[in-house]
Every structure is written in C-alpha cells, then in structure tokens.
Chains A and B, each alone.
Chain A
Amino acid sequence: MKNTKPPLWELREISKAFPGVQALDKVSVSIFAGEILALVGENGSGKSTLAKCLAGVHQPESGELIHQGEPVEFAHPFEARERGVATIYQEFSLVPTLSVAENIFLGRYVVKSKLTGIDWEMMRQQTSEILNTLSIQFDPDEVVRDLSVAEQQLIEITKAMSVDSTLLIMDEPTAALGLAETRQLHELILRLADQGQAILYISHRLDEIFQIADRITVLKDGRCIDTQPASSLEMMEVVRMMIGFDIGQHYPKEINVTSETCLEVDHISTETGVNDVSFDIKVGEVFGLGGMVGAGRTEIANALFGLDRLTEGSIKLYGEPIQLSNPADAIHAGIGLVPENRKEDGLFFNFNGSLNITLSRLSSILKWGFLNLTQEHQTGKYYFEKLNITSSGLERSAQFLSGGNQQKVVIARWLFSQAKLLIFDEPTQGVDIGAKIEVYRVINDLTSQGYSVILISSDYLELLAMSDRIAIVRDGKILQISPAKELTEYELLSIASGAEGNGNG
C-alpha cells in the first residue's frame, strides 16, 4: 500500500567504519512518509550509527542518502535538520531550569525588535499551538525541572517537531519510561504517523515494536539482515535474526521452588506508601512484583532492604525476625538489591571488577585485620569465571563492560555477600536480548542453588515468563497474588492499571 509511493528517504549501501570495527556494511533501507519503521538489533549492531548517518552526525564512507529522489550529503547535523530530519537521542537536551516554551525555542528565540527584545507572548502562543496539534496538555510556562521524565520526553518530541520535520528519529525513547508513559508516547507516535510523519524507531523492547511498527529492519554486526512488514513477522523470528541462532526459548524459565520458606512479610506499612503488605517467598522461588510505575513496587523493595523504615508489621527471614534500619542490616541478614538504575545506584564505574564485587563483604578478605589485596583479586576472578563475565573487565574499570556484564558484576557482589534473597529491580532495562537471556540464566542458576528472588519488572512478558508467582501492586497495596501461569498479560495489565476495578466494581 504505502510502498507503491516513492520512498521519502532511501539509504543505499551505507558503510561506516570506526577504528577496529565495521559499524555499517552496505546497509540499504527505505523509509516512507507516514510509516513507523523499527530498527532492531543487539548492542553494537549498528542501529545508532545508521541513525546518526541519517542525522548528519556521522558521515558514511560509501553509499548514498537519497531524499525524495535527490542524493544528499550532510557535513553537519543542521544540514540534516534543514532536510526535515529531527532526532531525539537517549539523553535529553532540555535545560531543566527553563520553561517549556523557552526550551522549545532555545537558540532561535523570536525577537520583536531590537528595543523590546524577545517576544515572549509570541513564543508562548506558538508553543501552545504546537502542543495542541500534538494533543499534549502543558502550560508553556511550566519549568522543565518540575516535569516527570515522561513529560520531559514529550517536550523533547515537541521541540523536535516544532521545526518543520518530515522524519523523526527516536533512539530508545522508552528506556526511562514506565508502561503508562510508554503508552502515552506510543499514542503520540501513532498520531504523528497518521499526520504523514515518517518515524525511525530504535528500541530494544521487541514487544513495543510489534505494537507500533509498520515494518521492521533487523541489523546484525553492521549488516542489514532483512526488512519485513511487522504483520508478517513473529517475535521469535526477529530474535533469531538479531542474535543469529535459535535460542529455543526466549525466556528459559526453570522451576526450582521448594517447600521451605525464605521470607515472611507480615502486614508491613511505611511512610513512603506501602500499605499493609503481606506475602511469603519460598526458597528457590522467583516472586514477581507487577504494577505500574509508581504503584509501590520499588517502595516494597526499599522496605525489605532497610532503606525505608517500617511503621507497622514485621519481616522474618528463614523464620528469624529481622530488624532493618539501614541497608547494612539487610545485607547482614542476607538480602541483596540489584537496583533499577545501574549507573547511578549500582556500579562503581571507575573501579575494576574485583573492587566492585568485594565491597559487599570486605570483612571476609581481611588478613591480620587488613585487606588482602591478592585475595581480593582472586575473589574477583572467581566470580568473573563463575558468572561468565568478560575477563578483561577484571583489571579495567567497569565502565568498559557491556550492560549485561555490568549487571552480572552487581549480582556477583551479592553472591559474595552471601545474600540468600536477591531483589532485582528492572534487571533487564536497557540491555540487549543476548544479555537479557544471560540475566535470566543467572536467575535460574541462583534459584537452583537455593537463592530466592524478588523480580520487579515493567516488561510484563518477562515478568509473566520468569516468575513463579506474581503479586500485583497498586497504590502501595498487594491486590492479588497468583501463580504466574494462571495470569495473562491482559489480566495483569487491567488489574494493575485499575481498569478492571472500575468496570466490575
């Protein structure tokens, strides 16, 4: 249908090399007006490089960029802008202390006259108009700092759209968003496509790509594997194309639940909104916490890790009551937290692998009361081998490890601390499929060795597949606990969002 028209953009045999790596190898892709083209592939497959060639950030070494039949070359990103290419990168480019209108018009303020200066009224008005055409409700005077991450994302898009653009490139736009915000963003993207925008959408999350994309292009090692209409593809086929082999099962779930009880949570409440929550976890179980962003899942995890004080209720680990007034207490009791934000809360980026692991239990590598550095190094080596982490990361700082390997370093830290219960808060956010499967395998290994796991995830397919039981959380309460097998994604979503409660009373 759309393909009968000539393409808006045609990329012909684009190649680009960086020192030591052929990032793109003769990649050809066409983009049509009004379509959402998804670009998928593992980390390092060349997705972002291709987008940056189109945005004028990188200059391809060979190949052609053709805009409506006319070959073009970009020496600089603003030349791409002039051709109607708008890009939204993973990192936001907003100034937090300025208002929505000021951000949208940043660098191109409307000037009334030399004497009276900037025409604020005009800018406000134009901002409102743009926001209206995108059906986004915002006060142009609102300061960006006061907006949520999702709202800032919408402003970022508005800013990109405020300059006449025909192609919008989005690189992992939902990485920082929860489910509700992702849905809001997708509605906006679909609306834009309806209005004739072409959208190049880069994402790790295959489920969302299948929800919105018209066509899917798969890249692997800098080559274009295939481009197909989304409707004619299965998710498993895409995974196979991305990683180059058949993984058998996307979610390699093993059931390792025993009858022994690990954790008993008895009617706990906190000032942060956890409201009379009770549940228990068996040894070897993966206990999923489902719910919207802000429903109280992270708050429950924080209470179990001694970050938030209990106002009521009690917690028992292996039948022993435990008092948690800080993370040190939780760690001592045998609880570990793999935090949601690896970069800010998990990893020591400038330190090597061993240093990143041993700090959870420095007391065990003491000799005559001092740290035994040799033993520390050996400990790091042991865990790198055990968890199959790239050995080069042992000596080099953790920043050079891939996302999946970084996650495994954080997990190793808790294995070393002799934790028995591990809380995973969004463990696969922002890591590629190969690394995700690695994390799932680690979870399987852990449960088979008698560790218990609390899994918090906004990826509902993952949560349903990897959990043994799932507790659905809303407004700081657990609404229901059921075996993961008996839940569908639809049920989980409707209960978590409250849609069901409104309908049936």
Chain B
Amino acid sequence: MSDQEMEAIKIESKSGGNGVLYAIRRITAFRESVLLIVIVVFAIIMTVASPVFMTPLNMEAMLLALSVEATIAVGMVLLLISGGLDLSVGSILAFTGVVTGLALTGGIEAFPAIILGLMAALMVGLINGLLIAKLKINPFITTLGTMITVRGLLLILASGRAVLNLPKSFTVIGQGRLFGMQYPIFALLFLVVIIDLLLRNARFFRQSYYIGGNENAARLTGINVDLVKIFNYCLVAVLAGVAGLMLTARFGSASLTVGSGIELRVITACIIGGASLSGGDGSVLGAFLGALFMGMLANALNLLGVDVYYQSFITGLILILAVVFDVLNERRKASGS
C-alpha cells in the first residue's frame, strides 16, 4: 500500500463512527460481558442475602484473598494466549518469599532483598522459557519439572523451616494502606489495567495471540517466536514473585508450603475468563474477572455458612459449564456459516 493510501485510511479511521463502535465491541468481548453480568447479578443477590457482604471490610478481605491468584492470572493468561502453560508459579511464589525472607533475616535492607527475590523468580522463568522455546520441550513437562525442583530448592535453602519475624520495613508492602485499602489490592488493579492495555494495544504483546493462533505461520511472518515465549515465561514468573512478596509481607513470614496447587486455580480463573488451552484466545480483563468470580464465590459460600467442601465442587462445575458454553458457542458460529 502506498503512503497516500495509508494516509487515506488514517483519515477515514479518525472520522468514522463505525470505527469507534468497533473499538468498543472489541474491548468488551462476549465472554467478558457475560462474566461481568454474572458477577454483578451475583453481587446484588449476595447484598440482599447477607448484610455483611457489601461492607468495606468484607470487600477488602475478599479482594485481598483473591489478589494472589489474580496477580498471577494476569501473567498466566498471556502464556495461555501464546499456547504455553506454567505449572511452576506456586513454587516460584514460595521461592521468592523464602529468598527475600532469608536475605532480610541475613541483614540485607528491604529494597535490595525484594530485588533479590524477584531476580530469583526471574531466573526460574528464564530457565522455563529457554527450555521451552529453544529446546522445544513440552511446557507441561518443563514447568512440572521446575515446579518440583524449585519447591525442593526452597526447602533446602530454608532448611525446612519457615522464615519468621520479618522486619517492619518489609511487611509494610503487604500491610500498608492507601485511601483505606491495602497495597496488594492497588498493585493488582494497577497490573490488570496496565497489562490489559498492553495486550490489547502494544505490538510486542499482540504477537502472543499470533503465536498461540498458529506458531508456524507466526514464524513465517517474521515474528521472533522464541523471544516472545521466553519473555512471557519471565513475566509470569516475576508476577508470581510479586504475589509471593505481597503474601510474605502480609503474613510477616515466608511459608514453605504456600502456593501449592495455586497453578490450577490460576489456570481455572483464566479459562473461566475466556482463555483456551489451545492458545490464541483470552484477555487480561477476562482472567481478572475469572479470578474475581472465584474469589467472590468463596467469600459468598463462607458468609452463607456453606460447608467449605462445596467451594471446590461449585468452582469445578462452573469451569465445566464455561467450557461447554464455549463449545456450544463455537458450534453455533460454525453452523451459521
């Protein structure tokens, strides 16, 4: 296309009302809208059913509880979109806490200790990314391996004991407040907004969709597939690290078992939010809404005094329903052709 034609298109896109509508339609994809409506209806029902639900204290507790999963989901969804998967996020989360905790108890200042912890997380992400992108090892196997290895490594480092009595200068990041809300909630909302915008509008992040959609075609269109993959594994690892730091700071101690099983809950949230294990689909907003929904469900069941065992039962049911919904929707679209 010549530059003049390009200009013509630019001018048309500025003036075209259709274009704006198109942009709005893109941001609120079908799945996200449905999920949002479900969440709002659910919240209204809960407000009626329980006087405690809509109180600031309960809202804060709920958001704080889901901030760990949601923070990781922001990165995990990017990985799922590019056709990848990371099972090691729970281990990375605990590892980051332990490394930072040990650094703090060893006399290192809070800021460098945090950097050290995040570097440790980044290293694991880098190893995952290199093994998967360069050696073409299956992501499931690779991250299953690092999940077990890293969990072992942190047990060795901490000699099997939780790291206790962390200094105030550190715990403030998990316990401090801004406008009456704790920092981790702000961190989460910040990450959701930023990474959602990047994924929708930044050229580098867009490449993940192409890789997940068709890796060969992406490679043949000049996309540096390996680089994007490695970046994504590093990003999810760092986000797991951030979640680990916030959790450690909130508790004031680095637990060794924290984060076990979180990887599956995170993946569940992403899939409820519209991501697919076959890649090419999903959004950060969707993943966040998925995590919000799961967090709200847990909170609601608690308030209503429902046995905790039902939580897993219902979450599983919702996951299956979401996937069935997708399949039926695909069929409907296909038969409409």
| A350-B213, A362-B203, A364-B6 known; A374+B221 contact, CB < 8 A | no
Are the CB atoms of A370 and B220 closer together than 8 Å? no
The CA of A307 and the CA of B220, in the complex, are separated in Å by 8
Are the CB atoms of A349 and B19 closer together than 8 Å? no
The CA of A413 and the CA of B222, in the complex, are separated in Å by 12
Are the CB atoms of B22 and A349 closer together than 8 Å? no
Are the CB atoms of A374 and B22 closer together than 8 Å? yes
| A375-B9, A382-B9 known; A326+B213 contact, CB < 8 A | no
The CA of A479 and the CA of B334, in the complex, are separated in Å by 48
A370: which of B12, B202, B333 is its contact (CB, 8 Å)? B202
Q: Does B168 contact A (CB under 8 A)?
A: no
Residue of A nearest to B26 (CB): A373
Range of interface residues on B (Cβ < 8 Å) = 35 or more
Are the CB atoms of A349 and B213 closer together than 8 Å? yes
Per-residue 0/1 for A440-458: is the Cβ within 8 Å of any B Cβ (1 yes, 0 no)?
0000000000000000000
The CA of A339 and the CA of B203, in the complex, are separated in Å by 24
B220: chain A residues at CB < 8 Å are 305, 307, 327, 337, 339, 345-346
B203: which of A327, A328, A366, A378 is its contact (CB, 8 Å)? A366
Q: Does A19 contact B (CB under 8 A)?
A: yes
Are the CB atoms of A19 and B203 closer together than 8 Å? no
A227: chain B residues at CB < 8 Å are none
Are the CB atoms of B201 and A371 closer together than 8 Å? yes
Are the CB atoms of A345 and B216 closer together than 8 Å? yes
Chain A: interface secondary structure?
helix
Q: How far is the CB of B238 from chain A (nearest CB, A)?
A: 22
Are the CB atoms of A375 and B13 closer together than 8 Å? yes
Q: Count A/B pairs, Cβ under 8 Å.
A: 105
List which A346-394 residues lie within 8 A (CB) of chain B: 346-351, 355, 359-360, 362-364, 366, 369-375, 377-379, 382
Q: How far is the CB of A12 from chain B (nearest CB, A)?
A: 30
Are the CB atoms of B280 and A348 closer together than 8 Å? yes
A351: chain B residues at CB < 8 Å are 209-210, 213, 280
The CA of A355 and the CA of B280, in the complex, are separated in Å by 12
A373: chain B residues at CB < 8 Å are 22-23, 26, 200-201
Residue of B nearest to A418 (CB): B1
Are the CB atoms of A345 and B203 closer together than 8 Å? no
The CA of A374 and the CA of B19, in the complex, are separated in Å by 5
Q: Does A168 contact B (CB under 8 A)?
A: no
Q: Does B159 contact A (CB under 8 A)?
A: no
The CA of A359 and the CA of B274, in the complex, are separated in Å by 23
Range of interface residues on A (Cβ < 8 Å) = 35 or more
Q: Does B161 contact A (CB under 8 A)?
A: no
The CA of A373 and the CA of B21, in the complex, are separated in Å by 11
Residue of B nearest to A348 (CB): B213
Q: Does B10 contact A (CB under 8 A)?
A: yes
A326: which of B216, B218, B222 is its contact (CB, 8 Å)? B222
B217: which of A347, A362, A374 is its contact (CB, 8 Å)? A347
A339: chain B residues at CB < 8 Å are 217, 220
Q: Does B214 contact A (CB under 8 A)?
A: yes
A363: chain B residues at CB < 8 Å are 203
Q: How far is the CB of A172 from chain B (nearest CB, A)?
A: 21
List which A394-411 residues lie within 8 A (CB) of chain B: 396, 400
Residue of A nearest to B197 (CB): A370
Are the CB atoms of A362 and B281 closer together than 8 Å? no
B219: chain A residues at CB < 8 Å are 327
| A337-B220, A345-B220 known; A378+B210 contact, CB < 8 A | no
| A373-B201, A374-B20 known; A346+B217 contact, CB < 8 A | yes
Are the CB atoms of B280 and A375 closer together than 8 Å? no
A377: which of B5, B19, B206, B334 is its contact (CB, 8 Å)? B19
Q: Does A416 contact B (CB under 8 A)?
A: yes
A382: which of B1, B20, B200, B207 is its contact (CB, 8 Å)? B1
Q: Does A415 contact B (CB under 8 A)?
A: yes
Q: How far is the CB of A371 from chain B (nearest CB, A)?
A: 5
A413: which of B20, B197, B221, B333 is its contact (CB, 8 Å)? B221
Are the CB atoms of A371 and B16 closer together than 8 Å? no
Q: Does B55 contact A (CB under 8 A)?
A: no
B26: chain A residues at CB < 8 Å are 373
Q: Does A344 contact B (CB under 8 A)?
A: yes
The CA of A350 and the CA of B281, in the complex, are separated in Å by 9
The CA of A360 and the CA of B210, in the complex, are separated in Å by 11
User: Apart from A344-B217, A382-B9, what are 14 other A-B pairs with CB-CB below 8 Å?
Assistant: A326-B224, A339-B217, A345-B217, A348-B214, A351-B280, A362-B206, A364-B6, A371-B201, A374-B16, A374-B22, A377-B19, A378-B12, A378-B16, A418-B1
Sort A-B residue pairs by CB-CB distance and give the 3 closest, nearest first: A374-B19, A328-B222, A370-B201
B residues contacting A by CB (< 8 A) are 1, 5-6, 9-10, 12-13, 16, 19-20, 22-23, 26, 197, 200-203, 206-207, 209-210, 213-214, 216-224, 280-281, 333-335, 337
28 contacts between A and B (CB under 8 A): A326-B222, A327-B220, A328-B224, A337-B220, A339-B220, A344-B214, A345-B214, A345-B217, A346-B220, A347-B217, A350-B280, A351-B210, A359-B206, A359-B221, A366-B203, A370-B197, A371-B200, A373-B26, A374-B16, A374-B20, A375-B9, A375-B10, A375-B19, A377-B13, A378-B9, A378-B19, A379-B1, A382-B9
